[in-house]
């Protein structure tokens, strides 16, 4: 039960990370540069932690031999999902941009558990897990979809273009589940969740640095040191490191699907309160009893899947 609570707390970190990264993006006027800054902060934090607890920064030759070659490129996947997410709201509208990746992540995480993909521990689907997954879908519908249907603005794009972006949204959700599974497996192979997480962020930071230098957006970096910049915008990288480390640590203990679903509940719950009180610049919205009921149904789904 303690691992479920920790995963829920990690879910609380997600909307805070999003708010911090969004504020950074507004300041530097560049999505790639804000991503680079966030990943660089995460890498620095993880290197510091690794040095404090005396964990080698570079995996051993045996670790490189034992781990699948493709697991070392896991740091590139978050860059793909971030790039897709940046364009989704514009291309298919807010509702679909939120819901499609969410559902695809939930469903694919169950597939990863069932088949033991990417080195994950096999957790076969049964009627109890199926009912739990159904409750999760019902809960997400009550919390996210129904309240936003009235405010949903249809995108101007249609036809094949919209279908392609919807497929991209499905891909983004599936890749999010893959990152957690591969990272957890890599952490077990090399014997350190911290080392695996550091490798992920180091690779991602290197790729983004090359991109920002090539595009010239790196020149906007000086904007981050303006006097009026809020201090909390730097928290995005710190929270990102904590969340990704949670993937590597908790998934081997509770499974991909339970971790991802619990993370989602924490994310939605804090997002609702942020919108209710307007925290960190979030637009104020009222929370209905219907949405609270949806959260309770989602928790019941987690209970069925885990226990």
The secondary structure of the chain, three-state, reads CHHHHHHHHHHHHHHHHHHHHHHHHHHHCCHHHHHHHHHHHHHHHHHHHHHHCCCCCCCCHHHHHHCCHHHHHHHHHHHHHHHHHHHHHHHHCHHHHHHHHHHHHHHHHHHHHHHCHHHCCCCCCCHHHHHHHHHHHHHHHHHHHHHHHCCCCCCCCCHHHHHHHHHHHHHHHHHHHHHHHHHHHHHHHHCCHHHHHHHHHHHHHHHHHHHHHHHCHHHHHHHHHCCCCCHHHHHHHHHHHHHHHHHHHHHHHHCHHHHHHHHHHHHHHHHHHHHHHCHHHCCCCCCCHHHHHHHHHHHHHHHHHHC
Total number of domains in the chain = 1
pLDDT score recorded for residue 69: 85
- Residue span of the structural domain in which 54 resides: 2-306
pLDDT score recorded for residue 95: 72
pLDDT score recorded for residue 112: 96
pLDDT score recorded for residue 151: 61
Q: pTM to 2 decimals?
A: 0.86
Residue-wise pLDDT tens digits, 132-190: 999 999 999 999 888 877 665 554 455 788 889 999 999 999 999 999 999 999 999 99
pLDDT score recorded for residue 152: 57
pLDDT score recorded for residue 157: 53
Low-confidence ranges of the chain (pLDDT < 50): 155-156
């Amino acid at each position: 039960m303690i691992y479920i609570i920790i995963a829920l707390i990690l879910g609380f970190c997600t909307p805070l990370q999003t708010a911090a990264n969004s504020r950074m993006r507004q300041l530097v006027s560049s999505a790639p540069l804000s991503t680079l800054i966030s990943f660089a902060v995460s890498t620095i934090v993880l290197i510091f932690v690794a040095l404090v607890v005396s964990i080698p920064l570079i995996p051993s030759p045996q670790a490189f031999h034992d781990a699948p070659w493709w697991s070392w490129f896991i740091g590139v996947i978050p860059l793909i999902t971030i790039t897709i997410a940046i364009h989704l709201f514009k291309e298919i509208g807010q509702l679909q941009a939120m819901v499609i990746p969410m559902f695809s992540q939930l469903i694919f995480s169950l597939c990863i558990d069932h088949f033991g993909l990417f080195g994950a521990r096999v957790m076969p689907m049964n009627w109890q897990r199926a009912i739990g997954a159904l409750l999760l879908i019902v809960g997400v519908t009550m919390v996210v979809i129904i309240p936003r249907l009235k405010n949903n603005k249809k995108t101007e794009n249609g036809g094949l273009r919209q279908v392609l972006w919807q497929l991209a949204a499905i891909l983004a959700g599936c890749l999010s589940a893959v990152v957690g599974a591969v990272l957890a497996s890599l952490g077990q192979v090399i014997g350190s969740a911290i080392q695996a997480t550091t490798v992920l962020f180091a690779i991602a930071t290197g790729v983004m640095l090359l991109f920002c230098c090539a595009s010239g957006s790196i020149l906007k970096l000086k904007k981050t040191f303006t006097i009026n910049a809020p201090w909390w915008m730097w928290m995005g990288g710190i929270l990102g490191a904590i969340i990704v480390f949670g993937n590597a640590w908790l998934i081997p203990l509770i499974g991909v699907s339970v971790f991802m679903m619990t993370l989602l509940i924490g994310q939605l719950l804090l997002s609702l309160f942020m919108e209710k009180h307007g925290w960190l610049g979030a637009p104020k919205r009222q929370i209905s009893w219907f949405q609270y009921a949806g959260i309770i149904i989602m928790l019941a789904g987690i209970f069925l899947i885990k226990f």
